[in-house]
Structure 1
């Protein structure tokens, strides 16, 4: 039993089984023993690999997208470049470099704001991002003003509730405690229409509140947001909660605080919440569609042109990892939300 498991055991003994969203929130964000409070989880030596860690090309293309959106806004003289959950700062470093090379006027206009709660990752970001960067605990703390907001693999780590239909009724899924340790089970009955026996549904009020807040910011102060994550565009597929440790899946109750916990993003629900806040939401693309439209193949071809055989092979593997349908290309989706008066940003419209 690790230290967080002992904390959770005492909490369950005092208050009863924990709903999945509370369990997930404690596993990831407990101030002493939470997963993101105690480690850098990224990279080959960590637990998972994100697209910015695969290749610099990912961030460079997003930097080009940001520059085009800024131009369509009328090139405001001051704009916040915000990233939610910025990892090691790799994406922001690549975005900023691409902006400096393609849109130097935007580089002068922007101020960088990182929404990050992990002290370990803040330290990594500080090391990677030289210059003036401001850190915030939440989007609400970011200064007012027009904004370009990036969220890559952010919403998948926001806690979800799970409910399961048994005996003709929906019940909260919970984490309880037995003699053998933490275990999944069913709790109190909840009201939910429809469903068939054995169905599992995931709900995330926390995700939706963040999205509504983001929508309000875009509608009130102007700008655009680009959200990239793995998930589904329509009705949810059921139980998508997963734990990963050392690039391998493990049970969600295994070593709490030492494994990454995520769930697929419901992009339809996320889009509704953004729109409820006042933003205009564009139909989502797959990551493959977005990156190919932004010039992925051309950029990799240019990098490979001056590379030796080994480097060219590595570049080919990186391109495949980002865009192939069987890898990140189809699983990951890209959603754009904008202020109401902004023209549809490329490549989200006709």
Structure 2
């Protein structure tokens, strides 16, 4: 592999030469979040002209149904925090598409809240500020600065891009995967720590890959703790799995195509499938109640996707009606690799919040 040089490649090479090969978490953090040359710092990656399309960009129906769900939950929240004004929070709001659509449903329901957006990209912040100006959002670099108030958090395709560590099973044990340089010094390559991590004891065949979503788990514990203390809920929608297992899901996407994750660092999106079981256990450890996960297909259909599509089609042209049907199918397609089955929906909440729309209680929930 001989990737074309990018500004970030030189920075990575200097750090590797100075400190040794990088853990996958460090590599992802720099590729996605470097303040000058990181992927999200330099571009608008969404839509047909970008690198990928998310559910809110496929159809307004997605955001509207999330807004209807949020309105129902906001109406339930005063029972857990009487008199407190809740905050509606979106993590990684993209171009603001989901929230713009959700706000129509929230306003129709008369919901009362303050809007907060957690976004590190200056490019995307400008788009969000313009699109959501009427809602007067408050921006945050991280969840650490969110108000000490009841929170309703929406995280659509957010956890998949959080840096994680990977380990490979060898005859010695679980050795951490690293990103280093080839002998020529101008190309990135995978390697392994020479010795195993003694804390990892899971049984697996040699060559198996174990992913530890350390940053995602830390965030889930933090938010779970906040929800239990102050009230509220967190809705996470992403592609991933609920059952534990081994496998390498680290991937890069550029120009709507899969790419080599080590080629052209800083110019492709990097993601990993989300381990919903691990996220659920992290929130449960803080005392949060768990709901789901369910498939995106089941979630949207229970919320009334079919009915919403019919209402939109009633005042649409034939071509528009066909596009509405195509969008609804794309959001709910069950056959692999359809979004309807691949994407899951999980919620963590205050234990006293009670049953939530379209999400059954998780059997191993602490409440």
TM-score exceeds 0.5: yes
* Aligned residue number for residue 365 of structure 2: none
- 1:110 has 2:113 as partner: yes
Q: Which residue of 1 aligns with 2:355?
A: 344
- CA displacement at 1:66 relative to structure 2: 1.0
* Structural mapping, 1:163-174, within 5 Å: 163-174=167-178
Alignment size in residue pairs: 346
Structure 1 counterpart of 2:129: 126
> Matched residues in 2 for 1:26 and 1:154: separation?
17
Counterpart among 202, 226, 241 of residue 232 in structure 1: 241
Following superposition, the deviation at residue 168 of structure 1 comes to 4.0
| Partner residue of 2:205 out of 196, 202, 206 | 196
Structure 2 partner of 1:80 = 87
Check conservation: 1:168, 1:197, Cα contact below 8 A. no
What is the TM-score with the length of structure 1 in the denominator?
A: 0.96
Q: What SS does the aligned partner of 2:191 have?
A: strand
**In structure 1, what is the equivalent of residue 364 of structure 2?**
none
Of residues 278-287 and 238-247 in structure 1, the stretch that sits farther from structure 2 once superposed is 278-287
> Bigger shift: 47-56 or 67-76?
67-76
From 94, 97, 105, the counterpart of 2:104: 97
Aligned positions of 1:196-275 closer than 5 A: 196-275=205-284
Distance 1:298 1:290 in 2: 14
Map 1:117-156 → 2, pairs under 5 A: 117-131=120-134, 132-156=136-160
Measured in 2, the distance between the counterparts of 1:236 and 1:89 equals 34
- For the pair 1:187 / 2:198, whether they are aligned, the reply is no
Which moved further from structure 2: 20-29 or 235-244? 235-244
Q: Give the deviation of 1:72 after TM superposition.
A: 2.1
Which range moves more in the overlay, 127-136 or 72-81? 72-81
Is the contact between residue 231 and residue 333 of structure 1 (CA under 8 Å) also seen in structure 2?
yes
Looking at structure 2, the residues matched to 158 and 349 of structure 1 have their Cα atoms a distance apart, in angstroms, of 26
Partner in structure 2 of residue 308 of structure 1: 317
- TM-score w.r.t. the length of structure 2 is 0.92
C-alpha distance after superposition, 1:51-76 (max 9, x if no partner): 11111100111111111112222476
- Superposed CA deviations along residues 15-42 of structure 1, whole A, max 9, x for unmatched, are 1111111111110011111101111111
Note the alpha carbon deviations across 1:182-216, whole angstroms, 9 max, x for none: 11121242121122111100001111010001101
Checking the alignment, whether the CA contact within 8 Å between 2:86 and 2:150 is kept in structure 1 is yes
SS at match of 1:284: strand
SS in 1 for 2:192: strand
Equivalent residue number for residue 175 of structure 1: 179
The residue aligned with 2:72 is: 68
Deviations 1:232-282 (A, max 9, x none): 011134100000000000111010000000000000000011112221111
8 Å contact kept, 1:218–1:278: no
Alpha carbon RMSD of aligned pairs, Å?
1.3
Answer whether contact 1:231 1:266 (CA < 8 A) is retained: yes
Deviation larger for 290-299 or 300-309: 300-309
Q: CA contact under 8 A between 2:208 and 2:246: conserved in structure 1?
A: no
